[in-house]
Amino acid sequence: MSGVEALFQPFTLGDLTLRNRIVMPAMTRHRSPDNVPGDDVGDYYERRAASAGLIVTEGTCVNHPAANAYEKVPFFYGEESLAGWKRVVDAVHSVGGRIMPQLWHTGSARHPGASPDPSVPAFTPSGLTQKLEPGCHEMTGRDIRDVIDAFAIAAADAVRLGFDGVEVHGAHGYLIDEFFWERSNRRTDHYGGSIANRARFAAEIVAAIRERVGPDFPIILRWSQWKQQDYRAQLVTDPASLEAFLDPLVAAGVDIFDCSTRRYYQPEFPGSDLNLAGWVKRLTGKPTITVGNVSLDSDFVSGNDTRVTFQAAKTGSLDNLLERLAADEFDLVAVGRALLANPDWADLVRTGRMAALKPFEKEMLRQLY
């Protein structure tokens, strides 16, 4: 398979078929007043769904009092918000696209005064803040069950609204990821300790979703080694530990792993060129999504490597990506900033018009278009 052909092969998983291997990943936009996605949000996704294979929505909060941390992020509960999401689904389907909501609980990112109830503190596995200091509510067994139920109910609503699957946000230092990471999860019960125990919370969320949605509705889990508070963090440092982490998640019912890395082209472990998505696919046999600096020539963070700082970025080569995709290292490719800059990114790449791609500029984050 030569050129960009590999990127434009259909992808099928059960009853789900995507027109190509291009995924729009979740990118928080803060454009939903009163936490309701409006027509402009639908238009924004529709423009990209006209050519991308799959849209994963921005993070949308499940119905738990501590799930939200930010202004104008959409909720995935309540009559108005769900009606807004139904309009988004219909808009994407009208152009032949496929769409999944990213279900989200922000954990320690929540700050005092955040909606919907300013009196509710952040919930975390061990009561630690993002700086790994005491200051949050340490989750009880009842709290854990409540959050699991919130994710399961949201997934059932996704089925009812006509979504094509769901993605569970287990990355980047938010609640589920805080259970994964030994520095933020210091529990001594069966949700802490070993890497398999630390994966239990996510596995129980996935299993509860599977029970609600049935055997055929696709479930994606997004996860990452890096955290917002520590870009050099690692949950696992070798393939054996990775396998121990993944096994309970596979058993619970994950269909696709969305492996969030900052640079897709970097090997994950010494002695192999495989990236994180490549290793996950090798160990589980499950389809994977790769991401990180696709078709751009620079990273999205400042040089100090300590926090997200979106920078301008020009168009870069796709050669390495295409070679890896053709070699079946991973199955799907998430395109973030380049797709913000170019809603028709897929069409421009498919027709050989790479020179027409606009560079990403930070100002593009301030509007929906």
Active site residues: 174
Phi–psi pair at 16, nearest 5 degrees: -90, 125
Quote the tokens at residue 191: 């949700």
Q: Cα–Cα–Cα angle for 329, 334, 337, nearest 5°? A: 140
Answer whether 301's CB lies under 8 Å from 308's CB: yes
Beta bridge partners of 167: 102, 220
Answer whether 81's CB lies under 8 Å from 75's CB: yes
**DSSP label at 365?**
G
Phi–psi pair at 46, nearest 5 degrees: -60, -40
Alpha carbons 117 and 99: distance in angstroms, whole number: 30
Beta bridge partners of 256: 220
Quote the tokens at residue 148: 């699991």
> For residue 115, which of 148, 74, 55 has the smallest C-alpha distance?
74
Q: Is the peptide bond before 74 cis (omega within 30 degrees of 0)?
A: no
Q: Is the peptide bond before 239 cis (omega within 30 degrees of 0)?
A: no
Answer whether 71's CB lies under 8 Å from 109's CB: no
Phi–psi pair at 356, nearest 5 degrees: -85, -5
Answer whether 154's CB lies under 8 Å from 161's CB: no
CA 128 vs CA 41, 110, 113, 257: distances in Å: 34, 12, 18, 27
User: Which residues have a Cβ under 8 Å from the Cβ of 244 and sit 6 or more positions away?
Assistant: 194, 195, 196, 236
Alpha carbons 111 and 118: distance in angstroms, whole number: 9
**DSSP label at 8?**
G
B/e letters for 242-251, b = 16+ CB within 10 Å, e = fewer, are: bbebbbbbbe
